[in-house]
Amino acid sequence: MPEETIFSKIIRKEIPSDMVYQDDTVTAFRDINPQAPTHILIIPNKIIPTMDDVNEADEQVLGHMITVAVKIAREQGIAQNGYRVLINCREHGGQEVYHLHMHLFGGRPLGPMLAR
Ligand code: 5GP
């Protein structure tokens, strides 16, 4: 069994979060340390530690994370101007929490994709 992180407690509402969406498959909540006016994390309820642990059986979950991101972006009013989604993987990707998560950033021009 993959190890739990703080995100499992957020999914189960054992610790508070500013949750914007939850269903049987995914949960979305505002990042505690926002890097943009809108910064929301979309995570699978099932523990998948990293992008590198994704397999074909997870395709529906990953696809659902995308459609939920689209829905949230529209609801948050950032769809028209545009936004960025990002998944960090392991050390070089800058991953801090080992429960797969998609960042949704928006609300200002986000600049170049990577720090130079
Ligand atoms: P990573 O660097 O792993 O891609 O991103 C992890 C993100 O989780 C960071 O942006 C960090 O601010 C956020 N985060 C870490 N712990 C918590 C928490 O307890 N609550 C919330 N809402 N966000 C968290």
Spatial separation of the C-alpha atoms in residues 83 and 31, rounded to whole Å: 15
* Percentage of the chain lying above the pLDDT 90 cut: 95
Q: How confident is the model at residue 114 (pLDDT cuts 50, 70, 90)?
A: confident
* pLDDT, tens digit (0-9, with 9 covering 90-100), for 17-65: 999 999 999 999 999 999 999 999 999 999 999 999 999 999 999 999 9
Q: What angle do CA 60, 92, 66 make, to 5 degrees?
A: 20
* pLDDT, tens digit (0-9, with 9 covering 90-100), for 29-41: 999 999 999 999 9
Spatial separation of the C-alpha atoms in residues 25 and 16, rounded to whole Å: 19
Q: How confident is the model at residue 116 (pLDDT cuts 50, 70, 90)?
A: low
Residue with CA closest to ligand 1 atom 20: 32
CATH superfamily of 6-106: HIT-like (3.30.428.10)
Distance 32 CA to ligand 1 centre (A): 6
Average pLDDT over residues 66-77: 98
Residue with CA closest to ligand 1 atom 17: 32
Model pLDDT, residue 1:
79
Which residues contact ligand 1 via a Cβ below 6 A?
A: 6, 17, 29, 31-33, 41, 88, 94-97
Distance 42 CA to ligand 1 centre (A): 11
